[in-house]
Amino acid sequence: MKSAYLIKPGRIELVEKSIPDPGEGEVLIRVKSALTCGTDLKAYLRGHPLIPMPGPFGHEFSGVIAEVGSGVNGFKKDEPVMLVHTAPCGECGYCKRGLFNLCRVLTKDMTLGAFSEYIIVNKRVVKQNMFHKPDSVSFEQAAFLEPLSCVVHGVRVLNPQRKDNVLIIGTGPIGLLFIQVLKLKGVNVAVLGRNSFKLNLAKELGADEIFTYSEDLLNFTDGFGFDSVIECTGKKEVWLKSVSYIRKGGTVLLFGGLKSGTEVCYNAGRLHYDEITLKGVFHYTPDDIKEAADLIKSGNLKLTKLISGNFSLSDITVAFEKLSKGEGIKYLIEP
């Protein structure tokens, strides 16, 4: 089988490997659709602590079960499935407290290698976070389960109320997914960005208003400030600027990750006297995944609007070069 390996930043190679056999509790998936994502792009540009190099690349995908390992219940060969690439252990101190997204082993054995013809899915994922794909859902839509689960988790943490004014900063795939999930909850959504194409798409996907960085977006709230701000760029200067748009008692959700070791400094008076909450958010829980799966099955999300083009495995570098130049949102890789 052919598999794309990230050798080092800026270099992806196709390697020929034997098709692996699934072990006890595992399944072998024939990948039908795989998507690029922001984490993949970070790894391609500068490396990423959760994506070893050289190593298999990609983690947003859907496919068909090619082989089933011993002890697997509820799934059989030739069934189409939708899934994510991690699952919690259920036994560590964080899992016992219900903090499944912070599980100690969650990121230790991630299912990486979606940019391949076949991929082995580990036992914990098969048992907890893999679902049958209905015929009404395309493989392209099903591949959105992982990023959508992250967004669902963010919305759950934020817990916005109906008619809240929420500002999303960033028009990448995560920001565009946040728009759709929030609008289903009856939230007023403003989006701040720079790219006119992506801003117009944000409007098409349900944003109530779109703004560039040169505009006074507080007019959206009559100068009061936003109830919540969701930072989706992963840029230090935007993390710092985010508190400028929040009302007293509001929450800034810091979704876009910064490089480990990066330090940020906020006005202590603003945080203290205005009771502003800065909230980090990471990954998802099994409940988030189930909710995301239900959202995909509902047909209420315009997921394929976020796919900017299709590429074969042999042309995967072209997709990442486009993303590195700010061209496109997500690309579909079809092994």
Q: Which domains does the chain have, with CATH numbers?
A: 2-144+301-334 (3.90.180.10), 151-280 (3.40.50.720)
Task: Provide the token pair at 78.
Answer: 């030739």
| pLDDT reading at 68 higher than 70 | yes
Q: What is the mean pLDDT of residues 69-90?
A: 96
Instruction: State what percent of residues in the chain have pLDDT above 70.
Output: 100
Give the integer Cα–Cα distance in Å for 38 and 232: 10
Contact 98, 6 (CB under 8 A): no
Residue 216, pLDDT > 90, answer: no
**Average pLDDT of the segment spanning 74-80:** 97
pLDDT tens digits, one per residue of 282-326: 999 999 999 999 999 999 999 999 999 999 999 999 999 999 999
Instruction: Count Cβ atoms below 10 Å from residue 36 Cβ, excluding itself.
Output: 28
- 16: which strand partners? 2
Q: Which pLDDT score, from 0 to 100, does residue 306 have?
A: 98
- pLDDT tops 70 at residue 178: yes
Q: Is the pLDDT of residue 83 over 70?
A: yes
Average pLDDT, the chain: 95
pLDDT tens sequence across 22-55: 999 999 999 999 999 999 999 999 888 889 999 9
* Mean pLDDT across 253-276: 94
Q: Quick check: 259 pLDDT over 90?
A: no
- CB contact at 8 A, 170 and 233: yes
Measured from the Cβ of residue 29, the count of other Cβ atoms closer than 10 Å reads: 27
Tell me the pLDDT tens digit for each residue of 123-174.
999 999 999 999 999 999 999 999 999 999 999 999 999 999 999 999 999 9
pLDDT at 214 exceeding the cut of 80: no
Which tens digits make up the pLDDT trace of 195-205? 999 999 999 99
